[in-house]
Structure 1
Amino acid sequence: MSQSTESTTESNPFTKPGFIIAAVLVVALLAAGIVIFLLPKGQSDAQPAPPAPGTGSTPAASPSASAAGSSVCGLPTSTETSLGAAPETKWELVGTMAAPTDPQIGPGKTDAQGIRSCFAHTPKGALYAAVNLWALGSDPSKERAIAEQLAAKGPGREAGMKAPLTQAPASSVKIQIAGFNVSYTANQAVVDLAFKADNGALASVRTTLLWQDGDWKGVVADNGAPLEEPRQVRDLSGFIPWSGA
């Protein structure tokens, strides 16, 4: 193989070893139903950095939401800004995915539709909110309720609520949380979650959350598209391993 051909192969993710397996995982992610948050809309391979608070299409936290930082259901608030170890937690099956639950972290509320909300104003609370959001999305019937109740206020939320319901592709591949990283400020968190499929494939997605109205809400772009796309990862290097299944 010529040097130019090797270079082209290396720069093209579609020709890298393991891509086909990883692509199956991405299909499973799309089938999970979290369309307004994580479904790829474009063709770019760029990996944008987490948005800074109050910039771009990320809606700013409302004064009432950020003033005291109180949880809408009375869960704790702390001054912690990092999470360097995997929390010990109880896991519950939500849809087809194991999700964490803790009486001091959340979810503090589960409504008649099964929507899990109200998480602590802490790095752990943001992590639990992100994982529960994914788990809820494994049930396509909750798509509209997720947009209405768990999306941050702004044009993206409105666009997501008006979007046609998704016809998710059928897939026998199941995915579970495998690890995480949390970047945290008082009113915004970026949770990078690693997923593992039952065929061994790995992928990750960054989910941006804002603290609004006493809870963590998922951020989408103004047109309802995601801020991030799923991306292949070779292993869990750089992630804190954490799983419930």
Structure 2
Amino acid sequence: MGLFSRDPDSGDDDDAASDGLRFWEERGFVAATIVVGAVLVCLLVWFFARGDSDTPTSQPSQTQPSNVVPTEQPTEEPSVPPATPTEVPTSTGTTRPTTPPPLNSTTGGCRNKTPDMKLPTTAPPAVTWQFEGNILIPLQVAGGPATTAQSGVRSCFAHSPTGAVLATMVLLGQVINPDMTEDVLLARVLPGPGRNRALNEFRHPTTPQAAGQVQFAGFKILAYESNFAIIQIAAQVNNRDYAALPVTMRWNKGDWKADLKEDGTFNGTVAPDVLASLDSYVGFRGA
């Protein structure tokens, strides 16, 4: 499908990816298809799965909505410096602490009657970053999540571009927590062959669990319509390399939910998008 590709001119990134691949091979990890249930190794193994490939994938060939946001191939070193875990990025690029939103809200998230419908070109403001396992996820009063179930699954995001971004990051952050994976798949993913495959893989894993650290670094809205969005999330792996994953989200029964491919993945079988730069992304991170 090729929803993302790597820069053919970035030789340094090829070397870094090859080093990362050797790192995983030393620990017995297999460069295989990225199945959601194996933690959803979509944020780790997908980064190194084809790190030794010399052939870049093509740009998306599928038909997207007319208001697809154009992007450019990154070329320089990552340009978004990390903030400390106790600070929160704001839309102006500075940092300041914020008050965490309530676990359940009657006015925010999917209950927000007047959400900001502009495509965000800067980091969403007034965001609190909280740890979900080892990864920081963003929480916002206006955009959500506005509901937290007893299982800990967070839902109810604003029906807006910013709400879709927050929904995607929170979904990814929670689904890679093995204590919550099944609950998140059932609550935050659309039913269908993809979800069934992911649930089966989680319950009967055939792919080894990934190890390492992942932190969100930014996002890019590839497409947005009222009931459909493709959000590409950039993440930093092991405090070194950057990569990106596209996630298709659909507005369903009053909330944003992920639409998995039939093989149980977010993005199908593609070569990893090893980023040389975050220049075309909106920098958005908590650490």
Aligned to 2:178: 140
Match 2:215 to one of 163, 167, 176: 176
Equivalent residue, structure 1, for 2:93:
none
- Give 1:46's aligned residue: 57
SS at match of 2:138: strand
Paired residue for 1:34? 40
After superposition, the Cα gap between the structure-2 partners of 1:218 and 1:201, relative to the gap in structure 1 and judged at 3 Å, is same
Matched residue SS, 2:112: coil
C-alpha displacement of 1:158: 2.9
Residue 79 of structure 1: how far off its partner (Å): 6.9
SS of aligned partner of 1:124? helix
For 1:17, the equivalent position in structure 2 comes to: 15
8 Å contact from structure 1 (residues 77, 122) kept in 2? no
For residues 9-40 of structure 1, the C-alpha deviation after alignment (integer angstroms, 9 at most, x for no partner) is x69x9992211345469x8x989823589975
Q: Is this contact kept in 2: 1:73–1:109, CA < 8 A?
A: no
Alignment of 1:56-67 (within 5 A): none
Distance in structure 1 (CA, Å) of the matches to 2:162 and 2:139? 11
- Name the structure 2 match of 1:189: 229
Counterpart residue number, 2:148: 110
Task: Structure 1 unaligned segments of length 5 or more: list them.
Answer: 1-9, 54-70
Shift of the 124–73 alpha-carbon distance from structure 1 to 2, 3 Å rule, reads: closer
Whichever residue aligns with residue 213 of structure 1, its letter is K
Decide whether aligned partners of structure 1 residues 162 and 32 sit closer, same or farther in structure 2, where only a CA change above 3 A counts. Answer: closer
Post-superposition offset of 1:133: 1.0
SS of the counterpart of 1:17?
helix
- Name the residue aligned to 1:200: 240
Count of aligned residue pairs for this structure pair: 215
**Residue identity in the other structure for 1:33:** V
1:170 offset after TM fit, Å? 4.9
Asked whether the equivalents of residues 174 and 197 of structure 1 are also in contact (C-alpha less than 8 Å), the reply is yes
| 1:162 counterpart residue number | 200
Inter-partner Cα distance in structure 2 for 1:32 and 1:90: 28
SS, match of residue 251 in structure 2: strand
Distance 1:36 1:86 in 2: 24
> Displacement, 1:148?
0.9
Matched to 1:83, the amino acid is: P
Q: In the aligned structure 2, how far is the partner of 1:139 from the partner of 1:84? A: 29
The answer to whether the 8 Å contact 2:196/2:264 transfers is yes
- Cα distance in 2, alignment partners of residues 15 and 103 from structure 1: 38
Question: 1:52-104 CA distances to partner (integer Å, 9 max, x unpaired)?
Answer: 36xxxxxxxxxxxxxxxxx9952345472512111121111112111111121
Q: Which amino acid aligns with 2:273?
A: R
Q: 1:81 to 1:110 in 2, by over 3 A?
A: same
Q: Tell me, what secondary structure is at the counterpart of 1:232?
A: strand
Offset at 1:176?
0.6
Q: What value does the CA root-mean-square deviation take over the aligned residues?
A: 3.5
Unaligned 5+ segments in structure 2 are 1-7, 66-107
Cα distance 1:212–1:77, how it changes in 2: closer, same or farther (>3 A)? farther
Q: Cα–Cα, structure 1 residues 21 and 114, in superposed 2: closer, same or farther, change >3 Å?
A: farther
CA–CA distance in structure 2, aligned partners of residues 218 and 39 of structure 1? 20
Give, in whole Å, the separation in 2 of the partners of 1:22 and 1:240.
25
Aligned-residue sequence identity (percent) comes to 25
TM superposition score normalised by structure 2: 0.63
Residues 15/200 of structure 1: CA separation in 2 closer, same or farther (3 Å cut): closer
Match of residue 139, structure 2, among 101, 104, 107: 101
Q: Does the 8 Å contact 2:246/2:266 carry over to 1?
A: no
Residue 119 of structure 1: aligned partner: 157
Aligned in 2, Cα 1:47/1:121: closer, same or farther, shift over 3 Å? farther
3-state secondary structure, aligned to 2:180? helix
- Aligned position for 2:78: none
Distance in structure 1 (CA, Å) of the matches to 2:162 and 2:133? 22
Superposition TM-score, scaled by structure 1 size:
0.73
State the one-letter code of the partner of 1:151: V
